[in-house]
Each structure stands twice: as structure tokens, then as C-alpha cells.
Chain A
Amino acid sequence: MSELAMTELPILVVGGGPAGVAAAVTLAEAGLRVLLIEQRDRLGGAIHRQPAPGAPQVWRGPARHRRNWTELTSRLERAAARIELRTSSVFLGIDGAGRFLFEDRRAGRVFARRVRAAIVAVGAVERIRPFEGWELPGVTSAGGAQVLLKETGRPPEGPIVVAGTGPLLLAVAAQLARAGNPPLAVLERGNPWRRPKTLAGLATAGPQLTEAAAYATTLAWKRVPYRTASEVLGVSEVGQGLAIRVRLGKIERLLQARHLLVHDGLEPNRAGIPLPAPGAEIPVLLAGDGREILGADAAILDGRRAAAAVLASLGQAAPVAPLEAALGKARAFQRDLAEALRSPSTLPTPETMICRCEGRRYADFTALPADASAREIRLMGRFGLGACQGRFCGPMLAELRGEALPSASPPRWPLRPVSLAALANFSMDQTET
């Protein structure tokens, strides 16, 4: 690396999943310095989550994902001289003085860095359509359970029901079955068989279809029923387990299980994320599922696209047209998938919990004035004020309102809870270049 490159400010990349790593290697290969921040102790994101040390690897994921990741990590190694990787570190946001702030959780230290541009690739959050009892212990998000399975190699013990909508239900159920605990049932709210045309369109998507077929085969082999037009109506606790009231087509039933895994799709993780502002002194770009939910394959392309945009802003030519075309295909696939699984929206009952952190129910939300400001929703509704900082209730309310909650202005930091002691020790000397 030249001396000039050493003294140049780095490009910040937040998030070490496929989009972030693709962006980082693209920038580094073009000769730029990169600061790559990852909150976990290892790269990979949710899709390439590796087993914890000593845990068995029960499931290795589709071969094409493994190939993609192997290729990215070997490029990362070759470009390592230009990439400063900080794991166990969290991006806290940008303060009022324009500082990019981070918490190094291993060192218990908050620090600031000067950067030339930032690419934020912090992935997706799961959407959960609220029903009575979703906040009970034993009910978890299916995506969260999937990540835990990848890390520990062990499925949850006792009978499991998987419910909600989307292809992730199929994947999680098949992985649980492979790991030795096939779910009692998978309940998909959508009814794709009623939309044969859209379904036929989806059938032209190669790799995704192969993946889905493999999951379906596993479920058939383990005799796991996959019911469409079916959903959870409510859950209550009985003894050590859950009584799950479900609708199977037109019939209501009561299922007994120890765990209920729910998932109603993904959306970009935007909780407090600084959004790109035209003309900003330090440009901020989004990439991957954190920009638009297009899946793991497209996330790699989108990371490259964001890197190309940064390069272009610095006067380095970087063709993006082929990337845009490929992203367009992924977008069409996601649209068809959403259309195939589309289901009528239903409103939760007034008693349904919306914000688990503050114990706020749907009735508390409907009691707010229709034109309530962001501050009223937060302060008087007490929505989005809890420790999760609106990660769950934000998307729920956005769906119920039909529009996103107005975000706090100016953007707030910290984006994640930060150790008070570490923040107290921050001093201006800790602005690193």
C-alpha cells in the first residue's frame, strides 16, 4: 500500500454480512482504505452465521451460498492490508457534531472515527404480525431460532409449531427437521395455490426454486404437514407449554406445543439508521437487505453496487448497469413471491401486545389521535421507547398504520444501547483518523 493510501481517511462499511463484505472487498480491491465494523465476533451476518466454538455444524446451507461466501472471504483475505476489520464493535450513529461513533464491546470503549463515506449494510429485521400472546415465553421469531440453530447446532426441545408467511418458514422447518426435531406443522397464511399464474412465474427462478424444493423434500420425508391459508389466532400458556389457537383453512383448532416460531417476512433494518441525504458532506449509502429485501444473492450484488457508487463519487469509473439489471431480476422475483403469498390483512384485537418493552397494547395505539406526531407516538403512546428501540413495534405499527412511523428528528444516537461507563470515558482524543 502506498503511503498516500495509509493517510487517506477510510470508507466505513457497517455490517459484515454478504452486502458489507462485498462492498468492503470491492472498495479495497480498487485501492481504498476500508474500516469494516461487525457487531458479532465473526463475519457472516445472519445468512452465514457459523457454529459457536465446539458446537456441531448440523446444517451447512445450500452449496451456492457456501461458494459465494468462500469466494468473498478469500478476496477479503487477499485485500486484508487495506481493510481494518473491527469485530465485536457496534456503530452507534452520527452525533450532532458529525462524529461517527462506535462501541468496541470487547474493550468496553466508545470511539469516534473520521471517514470519507459510509456504507451501511445492517441487514433485515423480521416482521411479526401481532396476535394475542405473541409476547409469551416460548414464542420466538423463526429467523432468530434459525440463527440460534446455526450457532448451537441444537434445535429447541419439545414440540414446535412454525407459523406466519414467507419462504423462511419452509427453510427453518426443514433445518429443524434435519437437526432432529421436525415441527408438528408449518402454517403458511398465504394461499399460493390460488395464484397459479404467479406461481408459474416463480418457477422460472433457478437457484431459489432448487433450494425450496430441497426444503419441501425434507419436510415430506419427515412427514411435516405444510398447511396454506392457515394462521395463528392466539396463544396462551398451559403448564410448561403453549396452547395455540389456529385457523386451518376454515376450521379452528387448538394445538399444544412447547415452542411457536413466528415470522411474517423481512424488512430493512432502519431503526435509527442515518438515511442517505443528498448533498451530505460525508455520503451515507445503504446496501443489501438493509436497503431493500432482495435476498442473500442480491445482497452481494447490492454491496458491489454501493461500493461502485462510492468509487464513482471519488472519480473512479465503476460500471453499475449489469449489477442494476441483476438486481432488477431479484426485485421481480421478490414481487412475485409476495404476490403469491399475499393474504388479507387483519387487525389485532385491542388486548394484543404491540410493544413488549413498555407493555403497550393495540388499544393504547388506537387511543392516540390519528394525526399524532412522532413525539406523541413515542412519549404519550410510549411506542418505540423501550430497550429494543422500536425494532419490533416500529415495523408492526408501520403495517397497522399503512405508513412508516415518522422518525425522530434529528436522528438519534446511540442506535443501540451502549455501556454508560464506556460512553462516559469518551474523549475527543479518541477520534481516530
Chain B
Amino acid sequence: MARSLSLHVAVVGAGIVGAAAAHFLAAAGARVTLLDASGPAAGATGASDGAVSVASKKPGPMMDLARHARAFYGSCEADGLLRGLFHRRSTFLVARTPLEAELVAEHGADLAAAGERVLDVDRPTLLNRIPGLGDGVCFALEIPDDGHALGYEITQRLLQRSSVTVRRNAPVSEIVMRAGRAVGVAVRGEMLAADAVLVAAGIGSVGLLGLGDILIPRKGQMVVTDRAAAGRPAIDGHLMAASYLAAKRGIVRDNAHIGLVIDPLVTGQFLIGGSREDHRSDQTTDAVTISAILRDALDLYPPLRERRVLRTFAGVRTASRDGLPIIGPHPHLGGVTVATGFEGDGICLGPFMGACAARMILGEAPGVDLSLLAPQRFAAVEALA
């Protein structure tokens, strides 16, 4: 602890991952400055659904990590840190064609193999749980142990419950290196000295670390409706279409593909998403994409026809070339740790990954094997040396 007491860490990026890392670093006694070009939750964290979902993960390391991350939410909720912000709720994986049913069944088997509870739901039970569900739904599985949390609320809580210094409107233009080691960051022409730097800046990490070949922006357009219920979720679970699983499992890679999710918010509103547009980092929404999302949503859940659309918005996910997050020490920049590339899984993984990054910076083992996610797996990073 003596070492961390004297340590000053500059965390670049005040999304959910940066805020979590900053929180746990400060909790361990480090002095932390959290810098963001805009402010907390200004990027993908503030423009996402709140699925803390294992059900949506690709089989393999992501599914396992998501189970750790969801359990971490549970323990943070129990110990008070995230009290009231994490809610258990089911995810329903739904299929509307025989082909989709096969995909959902296969995904369910993968989830069960990873140790997840997977429940078969027949149509009468399903209609009882989600009245009004579309006629086309021919197969569904319930994943009962998933949860929900809003990224911006988690970010805010993590910062409120810590001694982290937050600097808004503080774009970091450069990591200042001396003799192969980071000595600080440059902000608006000034240097902020630091003993260690964590880059958790999403797509902003590209410019800072030269990761243009490795990180891809993937825009997602979403819709928020008016309230279908007062102060409680309007339906009893998160609806995830097979089209979403197809995208997550890498079966379809098409910029016009809609990975449909219908997320009942605790306000009684619906959040409906979304598009998956690679190499798009703008935050505009267009009527053609939005209407396609809504047509698909109406087919899955027709009662939405009674709703009005209050807002459309877009977020930019940061995806890595191989689809896995990047977390660990930078192979050539001493004192620099990277935590980005969480694509659409940042809300689920964020608090846990932030805690892992904090431990790495403090020289401790992260508690789970993250070697598959280490930055040195990319040759381009090697070439940067």
C-alpha cells in the first residue's frame, strides 16, 4: 500500500472503464486524475443500452469474462458501492424462423456449457410473461440470471464514491515519454506529471496510441420511446433477437444489419437498438436505418405500435480487429496500460475490467487470466516500437 500511496495515475477517458479503474486505484490509495475530452460518460457509455448480459456474449473467453463481470456487479451491489443501480432481469433469446431457432438453440447450448442457467420457454409461458409478443416468434430461451445497469449511472456512482480528481474538457493530446517510460500526459499544451498512465479512451485511444489498424469504430443507432408503464419496466425481460446473436457470433458482417434488442427501461420506456455500422464514428441518426430498426421491433413486439418515439441517438462502439477487448500493459511504452476495445460489451464488462486494470497498474494479479486480451497480440503494436 505504501507504493500506491505515492503513486499518481493519469486515467485518460471517463467512460465506465476509466471511471471504474480510477475508482479502484483511488480506493487502493493511489492519487488519480481522470481526464476526458468532454466529460464522464460522454462516449459509448452514455449512449448504450444497459444490458449486463452473459446471454449476448460470443462463446469463449468473452462469455466467461462476462460471467465474472456480472458476478462483480452483484458483489458491488451487495457491498453498497452500486446499490440500487444493478437489477436482476431475464434475457429472452427469441427466434422467428427455423434457421434462427437453430442458432438460438446452439447459443443456448454454448451458454449452458459455460455454466449459465438456460430455461426453455414454450409459447404460452412466453406470452404470459410478455403479452403481445409477435406471432412470428417460434422459439425462445430464457437466461434468468442476467441484469441491467445504466452506464452513466454506474460511472457517476463510481466517481461520487471516490477521491478521484475529474478534469472535464481536458483532451489528452500526447503521452509524454522519457527514457521509454511515461512521465505524464499533455493536455491543452500543459503537461500533467504522472507515474503511470491508463488509456481507456475508446475510439479516442486510436490517436493517442496509433491503433488505427487495430481499433474500428462501429456506430449503433438507437431509439427511445415514451412510457408504456409508470416507473417500472413495461415488460418482464430484455428481448434479444436471433439477429443480434448472429452479429455477435460473427455470422453476419453487413453494415445494414440490424441486431435487434428491445430493452425495457426502469422508467417504463423502451430502448430499441440497433445498427452495427463499421467505420462510422459520427453520432448522427438517419430515417432509413431508424425505420428499419422500428419495423423489425414491431414485428417482434407489436404493442410498440402504440408508442411514440421521443429520441433517436447513436453511440460509437470501439471494436478491436479480432473482436476481443484490449487490456494490459503496453508492450513498448513503459508505465502505459491500455483498456479499450470493449465493443458493445462495455457496460457489462466495464466495472470488472476497470478493477482488473487498477490491479495491473498496482502490480497485482488481476484475479482472472487476461493473457488472451493483452495488447502484444497485435503485431502492429510490436511494429510501433
Question: A residues engaging B (CB < 8 A)?
Answer: 95-97, 99, 101, 110, 112, 369, 371-373, 375-376, 379-380, 385, 387, 389, 409-410, 412-414, 417-421, 423-428
Contact = CB atoms under 8 A, between A and B. Distances in A.
B288 A414 contact: no
A373 B39 contact: yes
19 contacts: A95-B287, A112-B287, A375-B38, A375-B42, A379-B46, A380-B40, A380-B41, A387-B226, A410-B282, A412-B312, A414-B312, A417-B310, A419-B309, A420-B307, A421-B305, A423-B294, A423-B309, A424-B291, A426-B290
B267 to A, nearest CB: 8
B284 interface: yes
Contacts of B298: 420-421, 424
B124 to A, nearest CB: 27
Interface string B263-291: 00000000000000000001111111011
B308 interface: yes
Contacts of B307: 420
**Would you list the 4 A-B pairs with minimal beta carbon distance, nearest first?**
A96-B284, A424-B294, A373-B39, A417-B308
Contacts of A99: 286-287
A410 B281 CA distance: 12
Contact of B308 (A101, A418, A428): A418
A425 B290 CA distance: 10
A97 B288 contact: yes
B377 interface: no
Given A373-B168, A380-B152, A417-B308, A426 B41 contact: no
Nearest to A97: B286
Contact of A376 (B41, B225, B283, B314): B41
Contacts of A95: 284-287, 290
B88 to A, nearest CB: 23
Given A380-B152, A423-B287, A426-B290, 4 more contacts: A97-B288, A417-B310, A419-B308, A423-B290
Interface string B26-55: 000000000000111110001000000000
Contacts of A424: 291, 294-295, 297-298, 305
A195 B123 CA distance: 75
B304 interface: yes
A298 B175 CA distance: 56
Contacts of B288: 97, 426-428
Contacts of A379: 41, 46, 152
Main secondary structure of the interface of A (DSSP, over half): loop
Contacts of B306: 420
A96 B285 CA distance: 5
Contacts of B312: 412-414
A372 B226 contact: no
Given A373-B38, A373-B42, A420-B294, A387 B310 contact: yes
B interface residue count range (under 10 / 10 to 19 / 20 to 34 / 35 or more): 35 or more
A410 B309 contact: no
A79 to B, nearest CB: 31
B169 interface: yes
A418 B42 contact: no
B236 interface: no
A112 B286 CA distance: 11
A412 B311 contact: yes
Contacts of A414: 309-312
Interface centre among B156, B290, B297, B313 (most CB of A within 10 A): B290
A98 to B, nearest CB: 9
B77 interface: no
B153 interface: yes
B347 to A, nearest CB: 13
A389 B287 contact: no
A427 B291 contact: yes
A387 to B, nearest CB: 6
A99 B289 CA distance: 13
Interface in B290-348: 290-291, 294-295, 297-298, 304-314
A364 to B, nearest CB: 12
Contacts of B308: 417-420
Nearest to B299: A424
A306 to B, nearest CB: 26
B309 A101 contact: no
A420 B305 contact: yes
B39 A375 contact: yes
A409 B282 CA distance: 10
B294 A375 contact: no
B241 to A, nearest CB: 15
A410 B284 CA distance: 6
B285 A376 contact: no
B208 to A, nearest CB: 20
Contacts of A412: 311-313
A375 to B, nearest CB: 5
Contacts of A389: 310-311
B33 to A, nearest CB: 15
A96 B286 contact: yes
A413 B284 CA distance: 9
Contacts of B38: 373, 375
Nearest to B294: A424
Contacts of A101: 287
